């Protein structure tokens, strides 16, 4: 190879740090072939700092874009302008983005304007519903249009890309890098440190781990979710652990509707080691998160998904995830069923892992090297 490949990896939010950390580490193992740099957009601040520390990532650039209660216009405009300056100065050979955030889409758009190629990790997820999840469904479709290398986590995602006439030679079936990260953390010995969590009896109680933060739920649907959680806390032997997302649109209703109940433990966003341990220890998960849908099955934990549609259909088809919508009475009904029926619980606690085998990052970096080698030979 004549010249090293200059690869810039772009991170903005909590799940991007989790999912790109193993890729950044893998890139750094190929110093003879790759110059790797990391750009933090700063779309999230507190929620990424502890993850950067955990995964020992030191960004080369921090665009520092976050503002309280930011709009999509704030995130997009700041990211576009500030990232363009880095690109003009550094002229990388490739940028890598992950998933469906506005940081990821805008970074790929900025690269396109400068005719710099984009590699898209976790490509091909689709609900085909424009507003669900919002704006993620359209962000990832737009990234697919702009991207030059597409790293599909599953066969279904690969098929979606093929149907959209993406060049098959530029699609790589890799698995999802979240499983690489999960294995790297789950392999380490770790005990709960938080005083509230230490007091919970995970053997005698049925512990439900909750997360919720989707933009399309804000307002009425999010209140429904909170009302459901309040009703669930009245069921026998239930403990609810809910690390609350820092978005003010989440904090406000959660605090108004759920604060002050003995068996609802409202916590700050948890570090990854604690969250992964809770995934192992809980009875089941109630969530609207994307990443958590991929992680729960890795620990045989049923996950009830508070959404109407999901781009992670693999878990639903395998029977380990169930779409239950955002209507409070439906959520309570589905939770009751899983709490009370051993049969329903057993059916959803199967050992399947449709999202990866822990080697996705290796495949991605190999594909990058092969691609550039071939194009330069
Ligand atoms: C973003 C992504 C979403 C992803 C989620 C992961 C977009 C449009 N949304 O949604 O796809 O699933 O991250 O969590 O890209 N805040 C803080 N500190 C933080 C992080 C957030 O205070 O460290 C607060 C701020 O008030 C901020 C608000 O949360 O303005 C919203 O953050 P934003 O990134 O716009 O939206 P999320 O809902 O976090
Ligand atoms: N997570 C975490 N601490 C928490 C909540 C979530 O470490 O308190 C992790 C979780 O394991 C998953 C990721 O954050 O890997 C999911 O992030 P989020 O729900 O914010 O975003 P999404 O996946 O929905 O885009």
CATH of 195-349, one of 3.40.50.1820, 1.10.3720.10, 3.40.50.2000, 3.10.620.30: 3.40.50.2000
Q: What is the pLDDT, as a whole number, of residue 353? A: 86
Per the structure block, which two tokens stand in for 288? Answer: 């609207």
Per the structure block, which two tokens stand in for 73? Answer: 């216009």
Q: What is the pLDDT, as a whole number, of residue 15? A: 98
What is the CATH number that goes with domain 5-175+359-376? Answer: 3.40.50.2000
- Ligand in closest contact with the CA of 48: 1
What's the number of CA atoms in the CB half-sphere (13 Å) around residue 43? Answer: 26
**How far is ligand 1, taken at its centre, from the CA of residue 102, in Å?**
10
Which protein residue has the closest C-alpha to ligand 2 atom 19?
289
Which protein residue has the closest C-alpha to ligand 2 atom 15?
291
Q: Identify which of 217, 273, 274 has the alpha carbon closest to the alpha carbon of residue 241.
A: 274
Q: Is the pTM of this model over 0.85?
A: yes
Residue 324 DSSP symbol: -
Identify whether the C-beta of residue 76 lies closer than 8 Å to the C-beta of residue 102.
yes
Looking only at the bridges linking them, the beta strands covering 206-211 and 171-173 are: unpaired
Average pLDDT of the chain, as a whole number: 97
pLDDT tens for 82-135 read: 999 999 999 999 999 999 999 999 999 999 999 999 999 999 999 999 999 999
> Residue ranges per domain, the chain?
5-175+359-376, 195-349
Q: Is 361 in the pocket of ligand 2 (CB under 6 A)?
A: no
Counting as low any pLDDT under 50, the low residues of the chain are none
Q: Is the bond preceding residue 302 a cis peptide, omega within 30 degrees?
A: no
Q: What is the pLDDT, as a whole number, of residue 273? A: 96
Per the structure block, which two tokens stand in for 125? Answer: 């997820």
Q: What is the pLDDT, as a whole number, of residue 377? A: 58
What's the number of CA atoms in the CB half-sphere (13 Å) around residue 287? Answer: 25
Sign of CA dihedral 288, 293, 299, 304: positive
Does 5-175+359-376 match 195-349 in CATH topology?
Answer: yes
Looking only at the bridges linking them, the beta strands covering 149-152 and 118-121 are: parallel
Mutation pick for ligand 1 pocket among 66, 216, 244 (CB with most ligand atoms within 8 Å): 66
Residue 245 DSSP symbol: P
Length, in residues, of the chain: 377
């Amino acid at each position: 190879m004549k010249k090293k490949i200059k690869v810039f990896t772009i991170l903005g939010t909590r799940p991007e740090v989790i999912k790109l950390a193993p890729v950044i580490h893998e890139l750094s193992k190929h110093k003879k072939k790759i110059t790797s740099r990391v750009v933090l957009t700063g779309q999230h601040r507190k929620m990424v700092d502890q993850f950067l520390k955990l995964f020992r990532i030191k960004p080369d650039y921090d665009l520092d874009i976050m503002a309280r209660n930011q709009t999509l216009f704030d995130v997009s405009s700041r990211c576009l302008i500030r990232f363009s300056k880095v690109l003009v100065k550094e002229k990388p050979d490739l940028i890598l983005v992950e998933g469906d955030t506005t940081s990821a889409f805008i970074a790929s758009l900025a690269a396109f304007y400068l005719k710099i190629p984009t590699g898209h990790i976790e490509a091909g997820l689709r609900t085909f519903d424009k507003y669900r999840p919002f704006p993620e469904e359209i962000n990832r479709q737009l990234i697919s249009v702009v991207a030059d290398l597409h790293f599909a986590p599953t066969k279904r995602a690969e098929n979606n890309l093929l149907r959209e006439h993406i060049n098959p030679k530029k699609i790589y079936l890799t698995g999802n890098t979240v499983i690489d990260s999960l294995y790297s953390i789950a392999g380490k010995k770790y005990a709960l440190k938080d005083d509230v969590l230490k007091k919970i009896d995970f053997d005698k109680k049925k512990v439900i781990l909750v997360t919720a933060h989707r933009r399309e739920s804000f307002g009425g649907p999010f209140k429904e979710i909170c009302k459901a959680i309040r009703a669930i806390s009245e069921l026998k032997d239930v403990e609810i652990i809910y690390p609350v997302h820092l978005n003010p649109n989440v904090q406000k209703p959660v605090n108004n509707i759920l604060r002050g109940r003995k068996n609802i433990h409202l916590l700050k966003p948890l570090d990854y080691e604690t969250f992964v341990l809770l995934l192992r220890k809980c009875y089941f998960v109630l969530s609207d998160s994307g990443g958590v849908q991929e992680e729960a099955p890795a620990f045989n934990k049923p996950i009830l998904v508070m959404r109407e549609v999901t781009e992670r259909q693999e878990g639903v088809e395998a029977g380990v995830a169930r779409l239950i919508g955002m209507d409070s009475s439906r959520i309570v009904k589905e939770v009751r069923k899983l709490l009370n029926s051993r049969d329903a619980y057993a059916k959803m606690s199967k050992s399947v892992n449709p999202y990866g085998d822990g080697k996705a990052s290796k495949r991605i970096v190999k594909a990058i090297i092969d691609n550039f080698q071939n194009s330069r030979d």
